[in-house]
Amino acid sequence: METFSGEGYGIGRIKSEHSDNNYSYVVWCTKTSDCIVIDPNDPVPVLNYVRDRGLSVKYVIDTHCHPDHILGNDPVIKVTLGKILVHPLGFGLVSPRSATVKDGEAVKFGEQEIRVSYAPGHTPEHILLLMDGEAFTGDTLFLSGVGNLKHGGVAEDLFETIGTKVSALPDGTRVWPGHDYAEANLRFAVDVEPGNKDARKKLADVTKLAKKGKDPEPTTIGEEKKYNPFLRYGSPEIEKELAKKNPEWKGGSPFAVFSELRRLRDGWK
Ligand SMILES: [Zn+2]
């Protein structure tokens, strides 16, 4: 687990063992020690983190309701007496001690607040959680990737969310995804856009860190725009590579590129 800081708040990033490289986050107000927990996977390290810093959990917020993102909800809530917040479309998918948060709502913890931005695509109930300079993106945006569509996802919705909500965030916004898939995602990025020097450099950096057992530092929206193929559906090189890989593919629109990238990534090792 690692700790990062912002102005008036701290961020704990906790990677669960025995998971699909899941990240859970603890975000707290440094003045009052009130905190929120985002997507608790393994509750034990989350509760240890909270206890070690003397934090008080006000809310657990789930970016979406896939089992690995809500796994720690009940144990965390039981111990801390907070509340679980989900998008209305996720109500009923989590335990009864929950309430709903909608697009545009802000959740206060101490003197800090986090804003909800509705982001369907990976699942219908997916939300982004935003602070100035920070975006907790769940399974919508990863380092050099986006969420899959295998369990309730809709390609058109994800394309819309990426194109209008994610791409519109300021370039300096740090990205806090729900999983670490960085290495595989960057190998895919280099495969579909071999001329992208930023993707190659980032892959080399991430591989070097991984060899030392370290996770990548959080990236920014501006960095993602340089090498994340799913934010680069306008790249002529990507379109050319996709046509080479699948001669039957017709292309012809940014959405066609986006959905072909998603299809290829699903079957890509
Ligand atoms: Zn998911």
Give strand pairing partners of 118.
127
pLDDT on residue 201: 98
Q: What is the pTM of this model?
A: 0.97
Q: Which whole number is the average pLDDT over 174-199?
A: 97
pLDDT on residue 244: 95
| CA–centroid distance, residue 83 to ligand 1 (Å) | 21
| CA–centroid distance, residue 125 to ligand 1 (Å) | 10
Strand, coil or helix: 24: strand
pLDDT on residue 68: 96
Q: What's the Rg (C-alpha) of the chain?
A: 18
| CA–centroid distance, residue 68 to ligand 1 (Å) | 7
pLDDT at 52 over 90: yes
- The 10 Å Cβ neighbour count of residue 211 is 8
| CA–centroid distance, residue 64 to ligand 1 (Å) | 7
| CA–centroid distance, residue 162 to ligand 1 (Å) | 16
pLDDT on residue 82: 87
Higher pLDDT, 92 or 147: 147
pLDDT on residue 1: 87
What domains sit in the chain, N to C, each tagged with a CATH number? 2-177 (3.60.15.10), 183-266 (no CATH)
159 Cβ partners below 8 Å, 6+ apart? 121, 254, 255, 258, 259
Distances (CA, A) of 148 to 138, 152, 256: 12, 9, 16
pLDDT on residue 29: 98
| CA–centroid distance, residue 139 to ligand 1 (Å) | 5
- Please provide the distance, in angstroms rounded to a whole number, between the alpha carbons at the two ends of the chain: 27
Contact (Cβ atoms closer than 8 angstroms) between residue 121 and residue 241: no
pLDDT on residue 268: 81
| CA–centroid distance, residue 54 to ligand 1 (Å) | 30
| CA–centroid distance, residue 122 to ligand 1 (Å) | 7
Cα–Cα distance between 70 and 179 in angstroms, integer?
14
Strand, coil or helix: 210: helix
